Structure 1
Amino acid sequence: MPLSPADVEAAAVRTAGLVRPVVVLPTDSPRHWSAAEFLQHTGTFKARGAVNLLAAHREAGSLPPTGVAIASGGNAGLACAWAAARLDVPATVFVPGTAPAVKVAGLHRLGARVVQVGTEYAHAAEAAAEHVAATGALASHAYDDPLVAAGAGTLMREVLTCTPGGVDTVVVAVGGGGLLAGLATVAAQHGVRVIAVEPEGSCAFSAALAAGGPVDVAVSSVAADSLGARRVTQLALDAAASADVVPVLVSDAAIVAARRRLWQEHRLAVEHAAATAQAALDEGLYSPGDDERVVTVLCGANTDPSDLAPGPATSR
């Protein structure tokens, strides 16, 4: 069943007071703003969906004593571990052996049991599924769950409320599609265009649009630790079908340059996933109209900033 605005409204009620309201920052252009969701708990929007999932199951009496389990490239696991700690729920997080050390360390600090397996998200997902079957733990998906997507959609709800002058277009990076599903659901309700940006080497959403449904893709990108899903969720495709969504692909070189420029010019230290959205504008792959009011979602603070300076500010 497609996500609805009512699902997002219910998520907003459950997560109120638990997640940080988004901060919208002005940029060099009077009609361009940045949604600083990298300031969210655990550094990404995923805290929203994780809290909504656990709170909804607690309300329904369906939260098992064995807790919650999730497979993640890192960020969803951090959010799940944080939400579980807030609600006093045991959490087991499965991550690829290639997950960034900064994210693995964060999982341990949050009190999660961490299991590293394989080299890709898909390997961690298989191990998590086996764990759920064996223990009866609640399965939390990194992006393919209506409660997770609805929680993510609360970000768009806040962006519309706090951006001066209103919003015509929102630019967002896409991995598995959980954020896109929630965001596009709210955007469609308010006539806002969505620019869905993916790395060229990790383009499950664009591939699904071309194929007419979710398909597996190979993953190879500097942003793959956050945007490395092999397959986009049907929830995202359903939401995109009823919204004005424009897919854009950006190169790894553009992503690296955008991340460095965000640091050098604005002192924003973000991971490559956040820079993926910015790269679409930096490279002119989406050119807003003169009067178009644009918000770029900068999401992802779980990065090692040691490689940010010095260097060329852009790839142009």
Structure 2
Amino acid sequence: MDLSYGEVKAAADRIAGHVRPVSVAPEDRGFLGGEVWLALEYMQHTGSFKARGAQNFILAHQENGTLPDAGVTIASGGNAGLACAWAAQQRGVHATVFLPTTAPKVKVDRLVGYGADVRLVGTEYADALAASHAYAAESGALLSHAYDHPLIAAGAGTLMDEIHRALPDLDTVVVAVGGGGLFAGIATVAQHHGVRVIAVEPANCRALNAAIEADDIVDVPVDSIAADSLGARRATRLALHAAQNYDVRSILVPDDTITTARHTLWNHRRIAVEHGAATAYAALLSPTYTPTPTEKTCVILCGANTNPTDLTK
């Protein structure tokens, strides 16, 4: 199962004018090797890259006449739900969003602000996912997914095309991985343009890394400070296919490095991102990946739905 570059290009045409083009900025910290850039996708609508896939999913179903009167439903750790609720509101569609009870209050409050019917179930994403499936079967609502759908992954992949247009001589892109929707989209486009991918996961949320190791999809424990956005128990088939067939390196970073990365971005750039987004930047602070002196690297800062009060302590 793979995602094609053509699907990403179709998504780009579909969502043009509905999402914000990404901005890139040079990272001038002296300790970093090579030439490093930051993709500021946390400035996207709803505060994360998820807006791209959500718009693509809803617009495609509206175009095809497959969006039911009951609207759309999704399970999410927060960001995908926000994006789905926002995209649904933009298109006049009802959205029912299931979240684990551990979801940050800042995300729950914003969901309510987008007019979503918010339902808190269980303590993990998997619990909310099961509840969304049951609700879709009962209500007839269209079931979306936080990451495991070609339309969602294709929408996410549009980000990489924009990065490549801004940095056409890019060598490497660094991206955080949860279930693998963003990664699959990024890796598909990166392969098309001859760009290497560094796939970064928390050491205790390693769904893709474990799948690569096992050569199959496997369930993993979820225990990380970044679990609210990267806490998938398993990676997608799309993600595993990309990791096995494209120029991809999978690395793990510990929670303390993720925390340091998040504070580093705040202290030196006044960028307040969530721990999931800081996971990508954490790769640069770990011994597992160091850009070479001639390497041009872009780190994707993918989300900012966080409570920033702890950054000033």
Calculate the TM-score normalised by the size of structure 2. 0.97
Residues 1:219 and 2:222 aligned together: yes
Amino acid in structure 2 at the alignment position of 1:294: T
* SS of match in other structure, 2:312: coil
Deviation of 1:39 after TM superposition, in Å, equals 0.2
In 2, the alpha carbon distance for the partners of 1:106 and 1:134 equals: 26
Amino acid in structure 2 at the alignment position of 1:82: W
Deviation of 1:259 after TM superposition, in Å, equals 0.2
The equivalences for 1:224-263 within 5 A come to 224-263=227-266
Length, aligned pairs only = 309
CA deviation profile, 1:58-87 (whole Å, cap 9, x unmatched): 111101110000000000000000000011
Amino acid in structure 2 at the alignment position of 1:22: V
In 2, the alpha carbon distance for the partners of 1:117 and 1:166 equals: 46
Please give the root-mean-square deviation of Cα atoms over the aligned residues, in Å.
0.9
Shifted more, 269-278 versus 284-293: the winner is 284-293
In 2, the alpha carbon distance for the partners of 1:261 and 1:131 equals: 42
2:23 aligned residue: 23
The equivalences for 1:204-215 within 5 A come to 204-215=207-218
Amino acid in structure 2 at the alignment position of 1:272: H
1:314 aligned residue: none
Residues 1:294 and 2:297 aligned together: yes
Deviation of 1:135 after TM superposition, in Å, equals 1.0
Residues 1:190 and 2:190 aligned together: no
The equivalences for 1:72-221 within 5 A come to 72-163=76-167, 166-221=169-224
Deviation of 1:166 after TM superposition, in Å, equals 2.0
* SS of match in other structure, 2:37: strand
Deviation of 1:284 after TM superposition, in Å, equals 3.0
Deviation of 1:290 after TM superposition, in Å, equals 1.1
CA deviation profile, 1:117-151 (whole Å, cap 9, x unmatched): 10000000010000000011111000000000000
CA deviation profile, 1:167-186 (whole Å, cap 9, x unmatched): 10000000000001100000
Amino acid in structure 2 at the alignment position of 1:130: A
Deviation of 1:116 after TM superposition, in Å, equals 0.3
In 2, the alpha carbon distance for the partners of 1:21 and 1:79 equals: 16
Deviation of 1:283 after TM superposition, in Å, equals 1.9
* SS of match in other structure, 2:233: coil
Amino acid in structure 1 at the alignment position of 2:194: G
In 2, the alpha carbon distance for the partners of 1:300 and 1:12 equals: 20
The one of the two structures with greater contact order (alpha-carbon pairs below 8 A, sep at least 6) is 2
Deviation of 1:115 after TM superposition, in Å, equals 0.3
* SS of match in other structure, 1:308: helix
Stretches of structure 2 that go unaligned for 5 or more consecutive residues are: none
Deviation of 1:242 after TM superposition, in Å, equals 2.3
Amino acid in structure 2 at the alignment position of 1:14: R
Contact 2:212 2:244 in 1 (8 A): no
Shifted more, 284-293 versus 60-69: the winner is 284-293
Contact 1:188 1:242 in 2 (8 A): no
Task: Find the partner of 1:35 among 39, 46, 50.
Answer: 39
Divergent runs of 4+, >3 A: none
2:73 aligned residue: 69
Deviation of 1:308 after TM superposition, in Å, equals 0.6
Stretches of structure 1 that go unaligned for 5 or more consecutive residues are: 311-316
Calculate the TM-score normalised by the size of structure 1. 0.96
Contact 1:259 1:270 in 2 (8 A): yes
